[in-house]
Amino acid sequence: MNITVLYFASLADKSHKGSEPLTLETGTSLNELYNSLQTRYQFRQQPAELRVAINDEFASWDEAIKEGDTIAFIPPVAGG
Amino acid sequence: MDSQTDLDTANQPHQQASSISHSVEEAYQIAQTQGFALLDEAIDEQRLKDFLQDEQCGALATFEGWVRNHNNDSKVTRLTYYGYEKLAINQGKLIIEEAKRLFDIENAVAIHRIGALEIGDMAVWIGVSSKHRYPAFDACRWILDTIKADIPVWKQEYYQDEPSKWLSNNG
């Protein structure tokens, strides 16, 4: 599956990227995706500290990843 | 603990998140039709108040969030807000729609600013119009609390004598 991952805040700091295209095996879960990125970039956050968004809407961690999806892991927000 | 220089040279990853993809005019249109938008320049609150003006309404409640010069004991010199624009607009639309369901209000609009801000700059503006005053106050507060909980905006604060920090609303 070809997807795009977006990085923000401390995740963008650690990965040195705002986004990147990735190719995943079909059936890769959001947890598996985050785990591999966490290992690659040494993200400090555990999944429990993050929200996840798929195609510009908040999603639950158990949603399936599909071809063409844009995925973002959302660190704790600080607006307002 | 990254140094200031490291963060400055690594600014590329944050470039898209510190400015909006829409024009300023489009951003105001989005805010007025859907309820919420991000802006990367000073918010024109008079424009938003004029938009909410309504002869049927007896009340307008507004909130302005200002950049403060301190955070606990640390002296803040400036800060930068970053946003995931598309998610923020989508989520903001849901928040304003929910506010209209929960409270007896006529209209509501909010804009959050992103990019580099100075002390005293306005980071967020919320306005709510209603026939009577209590729903306006209540909705305004609820919208602010929900923006703080759900809108994907991040704040990096810079200090006089310490390295900069990413903040979060839940400490």
**pLDDT reported for residue A66:** 97
pLDDT band at B72 (very low <50, low <70, confident <90, very high): confident
Interface check A44 vs B, CB under 8 A: no
- Asked if A72 and B84 come within 8 Å (Cβ–Cβ), the reply is yes
Q: Which residues of B touch A44 (CB under 8 A)?
A: none
Burial class (CB in 10 A: 0-12, 13-18, 19+), B106: middle
Mean pLDDT of A50-73: 98
Structural domains in chain A plus CATH codes: 2-74 (3.10.20.30)
Domain boundaries, chain B: 35-159
Q: What angle do CA A52, A18, B31 make, to 5 degrees?
A: 70
Residue type, A27: G
Residue of B nearest to A54 (CA): B87
Percentage of residues in chain B having pLDDT higher than 90: 87
Q: What is the rounded average pLDDT for all residues in chain B?
A: 93
- Chain A hits for B11, CB-CB cut-off 8 Å, are none
CATH number of B35-159: 3.90.1170.40
Q: What ipTM was predicted for this assembly?
A: 0.96
Q: CA angle at residue B43 from B170 to A72, to 5 degrees?
A: 45
Residue B4 pLDDT class (50, 70, 90 cuts) = low
Contacts of A45 in chain B (CB under 8 A): none
Structure token pair of residue A9: 């805040």
Instruction: With CB atoms and an 8 Å threshold, state whether A80 touches B166.
Output: no
pLDDT band at B73 (very low <50, low <70, confident <90, very high): confident
Question: How far is residue A53 CA from its own chain's centroid?
Answer: 8
pTM, 2 dp = 0.92
